[in-house]
Amino acid sequence: MSEQLPPLSTGGWFRWIWRQFTSMRTALILLFLLAIASIPGSIFPQRGTNPLKAKEWITGSPTWGPILDRLGFFEVYSSPWFSAIYLLLFISLIGCVLPRAATHWRAMRTTPPAAPRNLSRMKSHAVLEGADSTAVDRAAEFLKAHRWHVLRGETDGATWVSAEKGYLRETGNLIFHLALILILVGVAIGGLFGWKGNVIVKTGDGFSDTLTQYDAWGGGRFADPAKLPPFSFTMTDFRVEFDRAVAQHGSPKLFQADVDVKANPDAALTSSTIEVNHPLEVDGAKVFLVGHGYAPHFVVRDSTGEIVYDDTVVTLPQDGNFTSTGVIKLPDSSPQLGFDVVFYPTLQPGSIVSGFPAPDFPATYLAAWTGDPGLDTGIPQSVYKLDKTNMTQIGRVPSLLPGQTWTLPNNAGSISLVGYERWASFQIAYDPGKEFALVAAVLALSGLMLSLFVRRRRVWVKMSEGPNGTTVVEIAGLNRAEGGDVSADIEIITEAITGKETS
Amino acid sequence: MTPAELAQASNSAIYASMLVLTLAMVFFAFSFAAGRRKPAVVAAAEIVESEGSTAVITRTEVIDPFVPGRRSANIAMSLTWLGTALLLLGVVLRGLWAGRVPWGNMYEFSITAALGILVVFLGFSIKRDVRWLGIFIVIPALLTLGLAVTVLYTEAAQLVPALKSYWLVIHVSAAIICSGAFTLSAAVSALALVQGHAERKAAGAPVTGLTARMPSQERLQVMANRIIAFTFPLWTFAVIAGAIWAENAWGRYWGWDPKETWAFITWVVFAAYLHARSTVGWRGNRASWIAIIGWSTFLANYFGVNLFINSLHSYSGV
Ligand code: HEM
């Protein structure tokens, strides 16, 4: 126990703390802490992936929301405590692995220790009687040929050979732990230089890769939004199919977007299809199809009879059957108008939700508002929400079918549903660290397998004189990993010795 | 066969398998409880003869824990083979009916996971005598199947587009083997705890009672360690394959989605287990507990995240 007590000098203290910190026990505890610290992130909605839900949670629980928010429960994986745990773990790992690597390097270049006096105490042990006097020579030759590290010697009139094999076990362990650091480096490269953005594109419309075209864009500290790869594409067609069988009714069976792509403004146009699991790779970035929905087409006339709106409006799906909501804002018409739009791909009369995600019986619910939609206040507004503080509702219709027109009350004008189009949403991602991380992960896995499957073991062959002048050869082995069994090695060595004898 | 007949045949095979496995369970239980209390010790020495010299290789003491209950243990093992074959048939027919790999929803995952548990156990039983372990394997397999046919049952359907990928086959088959092996390691670890308790109570004397049929605590711990040493790299592989697939499907290889998070937690807990096995003061009972906790995190991922948490991976179909 005395060695556990810290010495009193400062340097001694430091060394003592460092030794504790880089011990297996610390690694074990930190691993546990890491596992526990990961749990809240799977229970509370996270800002990174689910900003709306996170906000709802915080506002919905006035006491706990802000407290948990301050503690980082809605951004667990970038919170100070989570980062602290894994950084400590990795510092401990480096402090643990580097000295081990040095020790291992030395061990690989030295010979195994001499054979112990009493081999019969080993769990795996064999005795050969009446072998001839070259048995040890042949055993040593055989072991060398099979890449054992070999030491020969003589004690008390007995000649012996001592051999060790399986150094790759420790090598694999070191590779594994160092590769874990490399994975972290790969993740960090992606985090610092990578970016991703989201954009909604309607059938027939195009997209070119500049910051202003994105609905949302986020990048790492060193990602330069002014230098995005200059590709562009047009979505020429979009196909969706939904399951109509009773089981999994309405679940998606297929969605595909056909696009015409230009890798840069001067490149030739190429056609391609983007599907789930089949992203488009262009100029180092990847374009993923992540969602889709409907964009009903309306024509609006104001009180003067003039057409003030003739366009499709993107509506966002709210449920599995694509009951979708959106808004139209017309601040320059007279009177100033605004509409809440709900699009039902399959209207069920009497219900306020869609009955099926495919457009079997499309219709819209509309609510019309007059007044100032507040677009000139300078405060940025969502294009999917109507700010109704200075507006009043003038009427609504539960279901407007394609081709129908609703004449607004108070002589405010009219609105007609012309039809609908589809839109698809794309995520465009650039992660320069992912290949690095993959290589590191494969390296880690290979090291792990070496470390767990290679057996580090020692064997000894010892020749001495038996009771009646015969030669006795003893063969014994020891597995250095627990529970291992070296009897197979002993069998092979025995055969190597006896096999040659008979031939 | 028509689709309706295939469906019928798949369900029948699975029910038949459950029946046979229940019988196996009864025979396992009987063999466990039957007969004398003291296990027989059979000394075995393998002798290799070659001209003029004799080599005695590895003297071992083999304990046959099932001398009295041997017949029922052997019947139970045969029934387990039969039940597993029937279950395999049921899973294959289900795949034929659906026209794809049978891993589209939780019902299908569950019947395949039960198959995984049994196959890993039977694979293990080829090399060593693990008849004493049978009952602790057949029970979880039956529970999984029972839950599948009662709560999770769904008609076969198309795969949602996100699952249409050969990564499904790679990632899910690795995970299913892991589910079997983790269950095995948890069962062996739990038995190691029980045996440790019995050994402490016996205070040096040979243990008596039911646990006398099981290997010593130390051997059980070594066995659990071996299983985990085999499973951990496979789980690592399953996680990496999942990450590659996620990169292909969603544009990021790691997003801390609840399913991913819990896969990570399981991974970290088993890494802790491997460390515990080389740490003084942790290699015994504590390591066994860690193995059981690791398996629980795997279950939490399967049932908790699939059914209760909103995740990108919610394909339960329930
Ligand atoms: C990110 C954190 C870590 C993870 C995920 C991890 C994982 C693992 C795994 C899976 C093993 C078993 C396979 C093998 O033998 O290679 C292992 C073994 C080992 N780890 Fe770690 N490790 C971590 C950190 C550390 C730290 C901080 C230390 C230093 C104390 C350490 C020291 C060791 C040692 C010495 C072994 C070999 C045990 C033996 O000889 O049986 N590890 N580690």
CB A182 within 8 A of CB A440: yes
Residues ≥6 apart with Cβ < 8 Å to A408: A368, A394, A395, A414, A415
Q: How far B279 CA sits from the closest chain A CA (Å)?
A: 6
A203 shares a domain with A281: yes
pLDDT at B312: 58
The pLDDT of residue B46 is above 50: no
Classified as helix, coil or strand, B284 is: coil
Domain assignment of residue A116, yes or no: yes
Residue type, A75: E
Contacts of A195 in chain B (CB under 8 A): none
A285 shares a domain with A297: no
Total domain count for chain A?
A: 4
How many percent of chain A have pLDDT more than 90?
44
Last residue of a domain, one of A106, A130, A150: A106
Domain assignment of residue A140, yes or no: yes
pLDDT at B157: 62
Classified as helix, coil or strand, B126 is: helix
Segment among A87-101, A111-125, A433-447, B248-262 with least mean pLDDT: A111-125
Q: Nearest-5° angle of CA A388, CA A394, CA A396?
A: 95
A299 shares a domain with A268: no
Domain assignment of residue A183, yes or no: no
CATH number of the domain at A472, please.
3.30.310
> Does the distance separating the beta carbons of B268 and A42 come in below 8 Å?
no
The model's confidence at residue B35, banded by pLDDT at 50, 70 and 90, is very low
Q: How far B231 CA sits from the closest chain A CA (Å)?
A: 10
A312 shares a domain with A409: yes
Strand partners, A296: A420
A121 touches chain B (CB under 8 A): no
Domain assignment of residue A7, yes or no: no
Is the bond preceding residue A66 a cis peptide, omega within 30 degrees? no
A130 shares a domain with A88: no
B165: closest chain A residue by CA:
A277
Q: Which among A351, A346, A363, A347 is positioned nearest to A242, based on CA atoms?
A: A346
Q: Per residue, what are the HEC states of A265-333?
A: CCCCCEEEEEECCECEEECCEEEEEEEEEEEEEEEEECCCCCEEEEEECCCEECCCCCCEEEEEEECCC
Domain assignment of residue A85, yes or no: yes
Q: Per residue, what are the HEC states of B48-91?
A: EEECCEEEEEEEEEEEECCCCCHHHHHHHHHHHHHHHHHHHHHH
> Does the distance separating the beta carbons of B265 and A39 come in below 8 Å?
yes
Mean pLDDT confidence for B95-118:
86
Segment among A377-381, B198-202, B289-293 with least mean pLDDT: A377-381
Integer Cα distance of A313 and A297 in angstroms: 6
The model's confidence at residue B156, banded by pLDDT at 50, 70 and 90, is low
Contacts of B282 in chain A (CB under 8 A): 25, 28
pLDDT at B162: 65
- Average pLDDT of every residue of chain B: 82
Contacts of B264 in chain A (CB under 8 A): 38
Q: Which of A93, A94, A174, A177 has most ligand 1 atoms within 8 Å of CB, for mutation? A: A177
The pLDDT of residue B110 is above 70: yes
pLDDT at A491: 84
Q: Furthest-apart CA pair in chain B: how many Å?
A: 73
Segment among A48-57, B7-16, B246-255, B285-294 with least mean pLDDT: A48-57
The pLDDT of residue A355 is above 60: yes
CB count in 10 Å sphere of residue A244? 12
Q: How far is CA B300 from the centre of its chain?
A: 16
Q: Which residue has better confidence, A116 or B54?
A: A116
Alpha-carbon dihedral angle through residues B208, B212, B217, B219, given to the nearest 10 degrees = 150
Strands A285-301, A414-430: pairing kind: antiparallel
pLDDT at B201: 87
A119 shares a domain with A99: no
Nearest residue (CA) to ligand 1, atom 24 = A93
DSSP notation for B143-178: HHHHHHHHTS-----PPPGGG-SHHHHHHHHHHHHH
Integer Cα distance of B61 and B44 in angstroms: 6
The pLDDT of residue A238 is above 80: yes
Centre of ligand 1 from the C-alpha of residue A349, in Å: 63
> Does the distance separating the beta carbons of A253 and B275 come in below 8 Å?
no
pLDDT at B212: 77
A416 shares a domain with A317: yes
Domain assignment of residue A184, yes or no: no
CB A292 within 8 A of CB A255: yes
A77 shares a domain with A65: yes
The pLDDT of residue A443 is above 70: yes
Classified as helix, coil or strand, B1 is: coil
A37: closest chain B residue by CA:
B265
A431 shares a domain with A417: no
Residue window 258-287, chain A: list those with CB within 8 Å of chain B.
Answer: 275-279, 286
Helix axes B285-299, B217-250, angle to 10 degrees: 30
Domain assignment of residue A139, yes or no: yes
Mean pLDDT confidence for A154-172:
90
pLDDT at A430: 92
The model's confidence at residue A338, banded by pLDDT at 50, 70 and 90, is very high
Integer Cα distance of B179 and B137 in angstroms: 12
Q: Per residue, what are the HEC states of A56-111?
A: HHHHHCCCHHHHHHHCCCCCHHHCHHHHHHHHHHHHHHHHHHHHHHHHHHHHHCCC
A203 shares a domain with A119: no
The model's confidence at residue B269, banded by pLDDT at 50, 70 and 90, is very high
The pLDDT of residue A418 is above 90: yes
pLDDT at A117: 81
Residues of chain B by 3-state class (helix, strand, coil), percent to 5: 70, 5, 20
Q: Nearest-5° angle of CA B244, CA B248, CA B252?
A: 75
The pLDDT of residue B56 is above 50: no
* ipTM greater than 0.85: no
Q: Left, alpha or beta for B268 (phi > 0: left; psi -120 to 50: alpha)? A: alpha
Alpha-carbon dihedral angle through residues B223, B226, B228, B229, given to the nearest 10 degrees = 170
Q: Is this model's pTM higher than 0.95 or not?
A: no
Q: Which among B157, B176, B148, B179 is positioned nearest to B11, based on CA atoms?
A: B148
Q: Which residue has better confidence, A114 or A39?
A: A39
pLDDT in tens, A14-31: 888 888 888 888 999 999
Q: What is the DSSP letter of B152?
A: S
Q: Which residue has the tokens 């003029």?
A: B52
A328 shares a domain with A249: no
Nearest ligand 1 atom to the CA of A100 is 35
A472 shares a domain with A433: no
Nearest to A277 among B222, B248, B276 (CB): B248
The pLDDT of residue A79 is above 50: yes
Residues ≥6 apart with Cβ < 8 Å to B54: A128, A129, B47, B48
- Average pLDDT of every residue of chain A: 87
Summary count for chain B: helices (H), strands (E)? 9, 2
Segment among A174-183, A209-218, A462-471, B196-205 with least mean pLDDT: A462-471
pLDDT at B105: 81
Q: Nearest-5° angle of CA A41, CA B103, CA B15?
A: 115
Last residue of a domain, one of A395, A414, A442: A442
How many percent of chain B have pLDDT more than 90?
42
Q: Furthest-apart CA pair in chain A: how many Å?
A: 127
* Residues in the ligand 1 pocket, defined by CB under 6 Å: A 22-24, 27, 89, 92-93, 96, 173, 176-177, 180, 448, 451-452; B 232, 271, 274-275, 278
Q: Which residue has better confidence, A36 or A61?
A: A36
Q: What is the DSSP letter of B300?
A: I
Domain span at residue A394 reads 293-422
Which helix H or strand E contains B309, and what residues bound it? none
B143, two tokens: 């529970």
Which helix H or strand E contains A389, and what residues bound it? none
Mean pLDDT confidence for A76-94:
94
pLDDT at B161: 66
pLDDT at A379: 65
pLDDT at B313: 58
The pLDDT of residue A446 is above 90: yes
Strands A316-317, A324-330: pairing kind: antiparallel
Q: Which among B73, B75, B80, B65 is positioned nearest to B210, based on CA atoms?
A: B65
pLDDT at B71: 79
The pLDDT of residue A92 is above 80: yes
Last residue of a domain, one of A90, A106, A122: A106
Cα atoms in the 13 Å half-sphere on the side-chain side of B14: 28
Helix axes B70-98, B106-127, angle to 10 degrees: 140
CB B253 within 8 A of CB A288: no
Strand partners, A256: A239, A275
Q: Which residue has the tokens 């556990």?
A: A4
Domain assignment of residue A178, yes or no: no
Residues ≥6 apart with Cβ < 8 Å to A266: none
CB B302 within 8 A of CB B147: no
Integer Cα distance of B293 and B276 in angstroms: 13
CB B259 within 8 A of CB A38: no
Q: Which of A53-62, A73-82, A439-448, A485-494 has the highest mean pLDDT?
A: A439-448
pLDDT at A248: 64
Nearest to A124 among B52, B58, B240 (CB): B58
Q: How far is CA A329 from the centre of its chain?
A: 40
Mean pLDDT confidence for A302-326:
90
